[in-house]
Amino acid sequence: MVGRAQPDRKQLPLVLLRLLCLLPTGLPVRSVDYTRGTDNITVRQGDTAILRCYIEDRSSKVAWLNRSGIIFAGTDKWSLDPRVELERQTPLEYSLRIQKVDVYDEGSYTCSVQTQHQPKTSQVYLIVQVPPKISNISSDITVNEGSNVTLVCMANGRPEPVITWRHLTPTGKEFEGEEEYLEILGITREQSGKYECKAANEVSSADVKQVRVIVNYPPTITESKSNEAATGRQVSLKCEASAVPTPDFEWYREDTRINSANGLEIKSTGTESSLTVANVTEEHYGNYTCVAVNKLGVTNASLYLYRPGTGRVDNGSMSLAVPLWLLAASLLCLLSKC
Ligand SMILES: *[C@@H]1O[C@H](CO)[C@@H](O)[C@H](O)[C@H]1NC(C)=O
Ligand SMILES: *[C@@H]1O[C@H](CO)[C@@H](O)[C@H](O)[C@H]1NC(C)=O
Ligand SMILES: *[C@@H]1O[C@H](CO)[C@@H](O)[C@H](O)[C@H]1NC(C)=O
Ligand SMILES: *[C@@H]1O[C@H](CO)[C@@H](O)[C@H](O)[C@H]1NC(C)=O
Ligand SMILES: *[C@@H]1O[C@H](CO)[C@@H](O)[C@H](O)[C@H]1NC(C)=O
Ligand SMILES: *[C@@H]1O[C@H](CO)[C@@H](O)[C@H](O)[C@H]1NC(C)=O
Ligand SMILES: *[C@@H]1O[C@H](CO)[C@@H](O)[C@H](O)[C@H]1NC(C)=O
Ligand SMILES: *[C@@H]1O[C@H](CO)[C@@H](O)[C@H](O)[C@H]1NC(C)=O
């Protein structure tokens, strides 16, 4: 969010000149050594920064300056900030210690040393780093298939974190671009699931959060199993539907709704439903309809209860048997060179 301020190099000499005039026994400024360039010090938000400065002899006039003014002149503290202190482990050290560094401390600091011969300044640029942190992310949402969905993920950090989106389940797709906003036009059922937002910068490990997207869609019947049974036996017809939210099932015999009674039992769990006939009699043979319904739609499939030997039961195993048989036949054919 916050761009890094560039050190204001034009303003510094002016501040310095003012300072040197303020010093009690200031010598006239002859030349100022700017050739040393700027050292960067990188500190994490909350840590302590030590800006090093050393003097050549004890009689030097020294001061620490900030862009906004004088922090220390000699040992006199001008700054009102309690986090700022001098660090003097040896008589010639004149370092500045800033505790609990925050982002507004970023900028250039100048140590001004005035010896008998000539004034010298050394400049330090303090860079404050902040680990990435996701500050705001979309809440879990439920939408209908075909809707346009926009997910948002906002993060703070310095340098500004790079934001990436990933579809965790089921596709695992990584989205191109570094975007706070993830737009999904005409969302499909395959695009439902968890989305992960990752905010990363070089300061520390990335911050990661998730959003769950539920895509509603009307039912489709994915499997319906007809069956056959002799009288006196127990038999079940099965029906499976794909739908979000989970569908409700209804069973019909011709146009009449069937209830669990008189030896018939309907059991529905999640996306599956079964109709069980406890004791098959002649009038049970025939055509049944399984209906799956949710708030987005309704669909149905026809199933049959056959007398033994009169119908084909779609087991799936039969469709496999043909190619296997064909394969065996062609293999035989190949061996006997027919
Ligand atoms: C200080 O950092 C800036 C970018 O933030 C870079 O351009 C410059 O080269 C760095 N200076 C030193 C002495 O590392
Ligand atoms: C340096 O100046 C800024 C304003 O430019 C101020 O907010 C900050 O507290 C100062 N830092 C120190 C260590 O005095
Ligand atoms: C998060 O973002 C949403 C939409 O941009 C906004 O309505 C909400 O106030 C934000 N929440 C916070 C805590 O910033
Ligand atoms: C989704 O966005 C596209 C392109 O912006 C627009 O043409 C379409 O009407 C939108 N669909 C819905 C359901 O809002
Ligand atoms: C099935 O029904 C027939 C005729 O109603 C009856 O004779 C038979 O005992 C029943 N079988 C079972 C297992 O209930
Ligand atoms: C079974 O019933 C359904 C719905 O009532 C109907 O569409 C279908 O034609 C019937 N099939 C047979 C073979 O009677
Ligand atoms: C099954 O679906 C067909 C066509 O969508 C419809 O005409 C029929 O009434 C439905 N049957 C039942 C029992 O809902
Ligand atoms: C279909 O599968 C059932 C058991 O799942 C089995 O008893 C039956 O024999 C199979 N029928 C055919 C024609 O494969």
Name the DSSP class of 278.
S
Out of 215, 245, 276, a domain closes at: 215
Whether residue 334 is contained in a domain is answered as: no
Per-residue pLDDT at 317: 42
The CATH number given to whatever domain includes residue 62 is: 2.60.40.10
Residues 104 and 203 in one domain: no
Residue nearest to atom 3 of ligand 1 (CA): 40
CA of 266 to the centre of ligand 5 (A): 20
Whether residue 80 is contained in a domain is answered as: yes
What share of the chain in percent tops pLDDT 90?
68
Scanning the structure block, which residue is given the tokens 């680990």?
131
Of 138, 272, 128, which Cα lies nearest the Cα of 209?
A: 138
Residue 334: which pLDDT band, with cuts at 50, 70 and 90?
Answer: low
Fill in the amino acid letter for 5.
Answer: A
Task: Please give the structure tokens belonging to residue 91.
Answer: 């008589």
Give the ligand with the smallest distance to the CA of 281.
5
CA of 29 to the centre of ligand 2 (A): 26
Residues 119 and 25 in one domain: yes
Whether residue 327 is contained in a domain is answered as: no
Residues 19 and 124 in one domain: yes
Q: Is the pLDDT of residue 258 over 90?
A: yes
Residues 19 and 118 in one domain: yes
Of 244, 216, 243, 247, which Cα lies nearest the Cα of 147?
A: 216
Residue 135: which pLDDT band, with cuts at 50, 70 and 90?
Answer: very high
Out of 77, 105, 129, a domain closes at: 129
Residues 109 and 36 in one domain: yes
Residues 198 and 295 in one domain: no
Residue 36: which pLDDT band, with cuts at 50, 70 and 90?
Answer: low
- CA distance linking residue 56 with residue 115, whole number of Å: 8
Of 294, 155, 292, 298, which Cα lies nearest the Cα of 214?
A: 294
Per-residue pLDDT at 313: 61
Closest ligand 5 atom, residue 279 Cα: 1
Q: How many domains does the chain have?
A: 3
The residue ranking higher by pLDDT, 69 or 178, is: 69
Whether residue 221 is contained in a domain is answered as: no
Residues 79 and 55 in one domain: yes
| CA 242 to centroid of chain Cα atoms | 28
Residues 206 and 232 in one domain: no
278-333 tens-digit pLDDT: 999 999 999 999 999 999 999 999 999 999 987 766 554 444 444 445 555 665 66
Whether residue 168 is contained in a domain is answered as: yes
Whether residue 237 is contained in a domain is answered as: yes
Residues 74 and 177 in one domain: no
Residues 251 and 282 in one domain: yes
- CA distance linking residue 268 with residue 250, whole number of Å: 9
Whether residue 331 is contained in a domain is answered as: no
Residue nearest to atom 1 of ligand 2 (CA): 66
59-111 tens-digit pLDDT: 788 999 998 899 999 999 999 999 999 999 999 999 999 999 999 999 999 99
Domain encompassing residue 255: 226-317
Per-residue pLDDT at 37: 56
The H or E element containing residue 323 is helix 317-335
Residues 17 and 102 in one domain: yes
Q: Is the CB of 66 under 6 A from ligand 2?
A: yes
